[in-house]
């Protein structure tokens, strides 16, 4: 019996916008860029400065990937970026690592 990795079409992906602890000023070379972030955050745009969390889920198992110091106009803009596609791949790889490890433990308990 072999382990077969899941593909993107077999899992559900979610995206969460989590607060970013770093200051925008520490990541932008232009002061007006950091000020834009501050203004957007004050206006309620959480996508202006956040940590992205992407989760790949299959049944009760999950894999995740994080990316900090993100700054976008909206969720749609982030989803259209290559970072999101890359994070989905990393979250799926994390899920498959978890499933493979559990499969190895369980299959060792099987007779045959």
List, in sequence order, every beta strand (DSSP E) within 1-112.
Answer: 12-19, 50-58, 61-70
Residue 21 scores a pLDDT above 90? yes
In the chain, what are the domain boundaries? 8-108
Contact predicate 26/56, CB 8 Å: no
Instruction: Give the pLDDT confidence of 32-82 residue by residue, as tens digits.
Output: 999 999 999 999 999 999 999 999 999 999 999 999 999 999 999 999 999
Sign of CA dihedral 87, 89, 94, 98: positive
Among 97, 83, 73, CA closest to 15: 83
Task: Print burial letters for 10-43: b (CB count within 10 Å at least 16), e (below 16).
Answer: ebeeeeebeebeeebeebbeeeeebebbeebbee
Q: What is the pTM of this model?
A: 0.91
């Amino acid at each position: 019996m072999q382990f077969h990795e899941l593909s993107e079409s077999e899992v559900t992906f979610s995206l969460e916008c989590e607060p970013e602890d770093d200051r925008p000023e520490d990541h932008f070379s232009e002061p007006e860029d950091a000020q834009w972030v501050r203004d957007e955050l004050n206006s309620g745009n959480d996508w202006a400065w956040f940590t992205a969390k992407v989760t790949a889920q299959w049944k009760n198992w999950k894999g995740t990937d994080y990316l900090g110091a993100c700054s976008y106009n909206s969720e749609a803009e982030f989803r259209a970026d290559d970072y999101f596609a890359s994070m989905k791949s990393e979250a799926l790889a994390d899920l498959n690592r978890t499933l493979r490890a559990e499969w190895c433990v369980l299959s060792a308990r099987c007779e045959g």
